[in-house]
Amino acid sequence: MFDHREIEAVSECIRTGTLTSTKGSFVKTLEERFAQRMGVKRAYACASGSAAVHCAIAAIDPEPGDEIITTSITDMGALAPIVYQGAVPVFADVDPKTLNVTAETIAPVISERTKAIIVTHLFGNPCRMAPIMELAARHGIPVIEDAAQAFLSADEGKVVGGIGTIGCFSLQQGKHMTTGEGGMVTTNDEAMARRMFLFINKAWGYGDAKPDHYFLALNYRMSELQGAVAVAQLEKLDEVVKRRIDAADALTPMIAGLPGVATPVIAPGAVHVYWKYCLTVDSSRIRGGAVGLAGELKQRGIASAPRYIQKPAFRCQVFAEQRTFGNSRFPFNLARPEAVDYDAARFPGTFSGLEQVLVLPWNELYTPEHIEYIADSIREAVEELCIR
């Protein structure tokens, strides 16, 4: 949703003549307001959601060969930063109904080398955080929340991104709020906040009495132009999220109970913010499963994505063939064999979940007529494909 507010903010930014956030005020305003809205002490803007995850991992500061637990179903932008910081990604299985990691799937892959746990609130549906945080606390392991798809999602009254040690958000075009590309990191931990602020700024100590480049870091700053857009976007975030939830809440009862098709599973006390709306399709009841249903919906003008991603992350070449820095295989050459064991038998939820999921596009501009058409189309497609 773009309107006069973004245009006016960008125009004001250009009139100031300052487009770098080191001198301007828009990014600082964004950081202050975002922290307040998310209920955290600190928030910093950065170049992308991938940069946000990189900042979080850099703040954790793993030693080469340390392990960071993550999910088998996520974007490469949330995985590459682990490797760039010299750590080994260790993939946890997921709940096949939500495609989220759980305390039960994380626990078996914790080792003495685990440096952090990344939980991804996929599609805007929050992970069950209380048991995950309890598990992490028992082992003394920090938790990074990947909330790229989950703005204002909540679990048991707590907004995601402020439950773990660090929260990471994406402002890419398709998210609940956007600057085209961009990211945010959040934390209540002052030491982590300092590390992330520095990492965004080439580790240069802006504001220090005797600044220096304190450690190896990149330039991940957001520009003032992006900050101006984000300030305007943040004003609309609550409305955007409400519209998405209202549209989903209207669709769910219209298609609930259809044979072979299940609506999103939302835990008690959780707030799903619907980056996407996902169906679970039983191939024993629906001819062709998720792929078959997607084909029928396409004929009715509805695009959808069976499987979400075509293969689990660990099947991508970078991990399966350890293609990293030259021929070194670093950091995988430092890994325990168990950490890089990608046998399918270890990931039953991952393969089952991908086989069954059908991802419907979703946004805040759907009208009741759109929702009714989607519901009618799903009902007709199920009727066509249902195995009696």
Residues acting as catalytic residues:
175
Q: In the block, which residue shows the tokens 């393969």? A: 351
Backbone φ/ψ region at 256: left (φ over 0), alpha (ψ -120 to 50), beta? beta
Name the 3-class secondary structure at 159: strand
Q: Would you put residue 35 in left (φ > 0), alpha (ψ -120 to 50) or beta?
A: alpha
Report the candidate in 79, 171, 94 with the shortest Cα–Cα distance to residue 125: 94
Q: Any alpha helices (H) in the chain, and if so which ranges?
A: 4-16, 26-38, 49-60, 80-84, 103-106, 129-139, 190-200, 224-255, 289-299, 317-320, 348-356, 368-385
CA 175 – CA 274 distance, rounded (Å):
10
3-state helix, strand, coil in the chain (%, to 5): 45, 15, 40
CA of 51: how far to CAs of 76, 130, 218, 266, in Å?
12, 27, 10, 29
Q: Does the CA dihedral 129-254-73-362 come out positive or negative?
A: negative
How far apart are the C-alpha atoms of 281 and 307, rounded to whole Å? Answer: 10
Which residue is it, tokens 């249902």? 386
H or E segment and range at residue 312: none
Tokens of 268: 């008690």
CB atoms within 10 A of CB 257: 8
